[in-house]
Amino acid sequence: MILFTAHEFIGRHSWCCFNEAKLLFFIMNLIIPHLETPLYVSIKNRLTKYLEQIFYCLYGHPNRVNKVRPKYLQDHGVPQMELTWDGAQLLFDFYKPKQLPNFQSPRVLSISMDTEILFKRIIKLVPQESDPNQIVDEMTAYITGAKDKMPSVMNPLPHSISTIYYLLGDFYFKNSKWEHACRYYLLDLCLYPKGLNSWAGLAMATGSIIENWLNSYRPV
């Protein structure tokens, strides 16, 4: 509470990001890795609001799409910081679903629209040696039988952020955006080719694309 009170005080003067926002980053590193532990279980809801205020000051997130900003988020009038790979991993850890959704789970268990926007910001920061976009064409060729050997990225993503492409694929699948779902499921499979949910999601999304094409086909 001392730390959050300090942020509230400096926020009144728009000082949140002074000294490279070290206070805010210190709080994030202190709280987020332990947010799900018994230590914080009784005050998790309060901590969540305090942390979202920090994210709002640093990165302008959460950005509630088509909704009024929640009352507990105050505009401290500070310039936003550039999102870094280390900071992005903390944000992902905070916003990822606590239970990984599968292709059969209801849409409410998937990520929200504003989290989708955040995750797409995060994947732009993925290091080149871990970027599945480098091998997505090769993976497509492998799946279609045009290539015998399955490709792989040089370095897998850290475990803490390993589900980001799958969660985006799941979001688009649950919102019937089949082409986008196929793309992100395929990117996830480039990293983790044994992902059953991504194979199932990719197959069903592809089937929906074919079905839509057949239903809309009109012979000349």
Domains of the chain: 1-82 (no CATH), 100-220 (1.25.40)
- CA-CA-CA-CA torsion sign (81, 83, 85, 88): positive
**Distance separating the N- and C-terminal Cα atoms of the chain:** 70
The DSSP 8-state label assigned to residue 45 in this structure reads H
Q: Look-up: residue for tokens 């000051």?
A: 57
Separation CA 79–CA 83 (nearest Å): 12
Write down the pLDDT at residue 216. 83
Closest CA to 184 of 158, 208, 163, 212: 163
pLDDT along the chain (220 residues), means of 10: 94 93 95 92 93 94 71 90 94 94 92 94 96 95 92 91 97 96 97 94 95 82
Cβ 177 vs Cβ 208: under 8 Å = no
pLDDT at 202: 96
